[in-house]
Amino acid sequence: MPDGGRHPMIELRAVGRRFGTDPPVDALLDVTVEVRPGDWLAIVGPSGSGKSTLLNVLGLLDAPTAGTYRLDGIDVAGLSDAQRAGLRSRAIGFIFQSFHLIAHRSVLENVALSDVYRKSPRRHRSERAAAALAKVGLSERADFLPTRLSGGERQRAAIARAIMGEPHVLLCDEPTGNLDSRTTGAIMDLFADLHRGGLTVVMITHDAEVAERASRQVRIVDGRLTEFR
Amino acid sequence: MSRIGSALGGLRGRRLPQPSTWPPQHGNDALVGPSGMSASDLVNEAMAGLFARPGRMGLTVLGTVIGLAALVATLGLSRTAGNRVVGRFDALAATEIRVSRATTGTTGGGAVPWDAPARLERLNGVVAAGNVSTVDVGALQVSTSPISDPAHQTEFTFSVQAASPGLYRAVRSTLRSGRYPDEGHSIRADRVAVLGVSTAAKLGISQLNQLPAIRIGDQVYVVIGILDSVARQPELLSAVIIPEGTARKEFRLTGPEFVLTETKIGATNLIARQIPLALRPESPTSLKVAAPPQPQRARELAKNDLNLLFLMLGGVSLLVGAIGIANVTLVSVMERTGEIGLRRALGAGRRHIALQFLLESAAMGFVGGILGASLGTLVVVGVSAYQSWTPVLDPLVPFAAPVVGALVGLVSGTYPALRAAGMEPVEALRSGT
């Protein structure tokens, strides 16, 4: 877990991400932002503004073409592909708009999957997955297949998977984009609980109400970041 | 528990030189370092992926099953058939050599010397040898009584054969009653005869304690034995057999027609080469030596006839099976793009993705191999049972089949696995759900 704020959890310095060459497109331009441990940052912006690119960079799924990115003090530019994968498995929890649950595996197996690439022993894995499910209030659905769950339940399962490994930061890509407003409220309450428990959360959204719940908001337009609140 | 190490470590992995400031001043060594996956987790994930669609998996392995079943059945049946041919030859024909006068021979009668059996029995590997000749008795008939009975047929036309004493052993004859003539009968040209079992029946002779006699023309011969069976020269059973010396004296037999030799198993080749020199050192080409076809050749013939077509069939089926596995694995990779993206986001390295898909396709091939080997073995046993053959199958074949199947699966899974490993996680997450 984060250590009392000796350094930022996320530290972007003049980060840019350029795609293509003819002509080059800058999806991110001179982005500088810090996220302290325990922060809840919402990134808002219209579609095509560079939100997803920023989240991919933060999640080590994409590498910046300019600037520096330190995750929990580690300069990720010096890491190999495999090391980035390792860092992803240990430090980052992902929440996706489309949940990304594997359809033919039970909810419990889907949650436990986050442990598979972490070099952790299989012993007590189911217990820890069950504990994560209990945290999101989905214990009674552990043996269900994801196809039998409602949208809100699916997202709860995905959140359980993300928090099972006790990540340093939770990266959420439109986590309520596929949910109705009532379910959205419940999921946001869950994020608020996790945040109160000390988890660092970074969330992309185009929903102003969802962004309101965050402790801090930034806006991104045409790849440039502006402090919003 | 072994870790899946660097088997595919170099797979598109970007190994950048690490900056001199690394590790960073804050020091967080436990966080950095490649992700890992235990072998049991890898197997677990691959099996879960495989059995997500059991029906599709079943159809996919069908090609491998058919291919390997055809290969196992072909190898087993050719061995079985080869074994059968050899077995039949070994019994009698493979130990028999007939030596007669070459049809193009220059010398007149007597190409086969009278003492041929004695000369041949000195050769190592000869079990027994005997001369046999058809005696030209002209119009003479064989009868049991000097009186012609108009009511019953008392005179018969039988083949009269002259035999040296060793012949009876060489044809593996058995006696119903009496004894075989010996060397003395031949030397003294005694008028004795051995009757074949059907000859004796026709002449009405069933026992010998009354010293029955027959007439060949006007000459009286004492019957001293009745043959019950022979393994070679079945015509002896319907003939009157007299000693060779008697035939020379009474019927002017000029020389043995042929000499029949029984050898030990496997000695025929050697003996057949030695015979002309042993019998006619001065003119070996005047003899015709008839040795049996070689058992090895029979085995090879059976192999050539049966194998090629079926091996090709098996190979083609296996190829089709491999293409099937490659196709289905590729489709599966495309379908599971989202899952691949998710796994990468959860920390899977490219090699973990590649290994999982490789294992899935190898497992499909392995299962196909087990089923194919079982099916092929059943075919071998079934065909053998139907043909009353003894099934022969190299035990290595059914055990090698799953290994071959797994290799086929591994090879066919390579391209799809590389495709899966090569996917960019961002793209995979975006395009798949």
In angstroms, rounded to a whole number, what is the distance separating the alpha carbons of residues B280 and B255? 14
pLDDT tens digits for range B343-365:
999 999 999 999 999 999 999 99
In terms of Cα–Cα distance, which of A109, A33, A7 is closest to B31? A7
Q: Name the average pLDDT for chain B.
A: 83
Residue appearing with tokens 């000693």: B243
> What's the per-residue H, E or C state across A23-45?
CCEEEEEEEEEEECCCCEEEEEC
Cβ contacts of A112 on chain B, cutoff 8 Å: none
Nearest CA in chain B to A7: B26
Say how many Å lie between the first and final Cα of chain A, rounded: 27
B2 — contact with chain A (CB < 8 Å)? no
Average pLDDT over residues B118-141: 89
pLDDT tens digits for range B105-129:
444 555 888 899 999 999 888 999 9
Q: Please state, as a whole number, how many other Cβ atoms lie within 10 Å of the Cβ of residue A22.
A: 4
Return the pLDDT at B226: 93
| φ/ψ (deg, to 5) at A59 | -85, 10
pLDDT band of B295, cuts 50, 70, 90? low
Q: Do A116 and B346 touch (CB under 8 A)?
A: yes
pLDDT band of B20, cuts 50, 70, 90? very low
Average pLDDT over residues B89-101: 77
**pLDDT of B21 higher than 70:** no
What percent of chain B stands above pLDDT 90? 34
* Candidates A74, A80, A121; nearest CB to B13: A80
A89-105 residues labelled b (16+ CB within 10 A) or e (exposed): bbbbbbbbbbbbbbeeb
Q: Do A94 and B345 touch (CB under 8 A)?
A: yes
The secondary element (H helix, E strand) that includes residue B89 is helix B54-91
B47 — contact with chain A (CB < 8 Å)? no
Q: Do B347 and A88 touch (CB under 8 A)?
A: yes
Q: Name the average pLDDT for chain A.
A: 90
In terms of Cα–Cα distance, which of A131, A123, A101 is closest to A113? A101
* Candidates A59, A80, A109; nearest CB to B345: A59
Return the pLDDT at B6: 41
In angstroms, rounded to a whole number, what is the distance separating the alpha carbons of residues B25 and B34? 20
In angstroms, rounded to a whole number, what is the distance separating the alpha carbons of residues A58 and A93? 11
**Which residues partner with B126 through β-bridges?**
B263
What percent of chain B stands above pLDDT 70? 84
The secondary element (H helix, E strand) that includes residue A51 is helix A51-58
Average pLDDT over residues B137-154: 76
Cβ contacts of A96 on chain B, cutoff 8 Å: 342, 429
Tell me the nearest-neighbour CA distance from B13 into chain A, angstroms. 5
Nearest CA in chain A to B10: A82
pLDDT band of B79, cuts 50, 70, 90? confident
A19 — contact with chain B (CB < 8 Å)? no
pLDDT band of B15, cuts 50, 70, 90? very low
pLDDT tens digits for range B166-203:
999 999 999 998 999 999 999 999 999 999 999 998 88
Average pLDDT over residues B262-268: 85
In angstroms, rounded to a whole number, what is the distance separating the alpha carbons of residues B15 and B355? 19
A-B CB pairs within 8 A amount to 141
Q: Do A117 and B37 touch (CB under 8 A)?
A: yes
Return the pLDDT at A99: 92
Query: What 8-state DSSP symbol labels residue B238?
Result: G
Q: Do B28 and A73 touch (CB under 8 A)?
A: yes
Query: What 8-state DSSP symbol labels residue B3?
Result: B
Crossing angle (nearest 10°) for helices B295-335 and B54-91 = 180
In angstroms, rounded to a whole number, what is the distance separating the alpha carbons of residues B214 and A91? 115
* Candidates B18, B24, B347; nearest CB to A86: B347
* Candidates B22, B32, B338; nearest CB to A87: B32
Residue A74 in contact with residue B28, Cβ under 8 Å? yes
pLDDT tens digits for range A151-200:
999 999 999 999 998 899 999 999 998 899 899 999 999 999 999 999 99
What lies within 8 Å, CB to CB, of B224 at 6+ separation is: B178, B179, B181, B192, B193, B194, B208
Nearest CA in chain A to B428: A61
pLDDT tens digits for range A104-114:
999 999 999 99
Cβ contacts of A89 on chain B, cutoff 8 Å: 35, 346-348
What strands, in cross-sheet order, belong to the sheet with A216-221? A92-95, A169-173, A200-205, A40-44, A216-221, A224-227
**Which residues partner with B281 through β-bridges?**
none
* Candidates A77, A82, A88; nearest CB to B345: A88
Q: Do B1 and A74 touch (CB under 8 A)?
A: no
pLDDT tens digits for range B384-396:
999 888 888 889 9
In angstroms, rounded to a whole number, what is the distance separating the alpha carbons of residues B380 and B383? 5
Return the pLDDT at B37: 87
- For residue A78 the two structure tokens come to 């010096």
Residues 120-149 of A with CB under 8 A from B: 121-122
In angstroms, rounded to a whole number, what is the distance separating the alpha carbons of residues B16 and A16? 20
Q: Do B433 and A100 touch (CB under 8 A)?
A: yes
In terms of Cα–Cα distance, which of A82, A144, A71 is closest to A111? A144
Q: Do A109 and B48 touch (CB under 8 A)?
A: yes
**pLDDT of B431 higher than 90:** no
Q: What is the largest CA-CA distance in chain B?
A: 135
Nearest CA in chain A to B44: A116
Average pLDDT over residues B231-236: 88
**pLDDT of A42 higher than 80:** yes
Helix, strand, coil percent values for chain B (each to nearest 5):
50, 15, 30
pLDDT band of B85, cuts 50, 70, 90? low
B6 — contact with chain A (CB < 8 Å)? no
Residues 136-165 of B with CB under 8 A from A: none
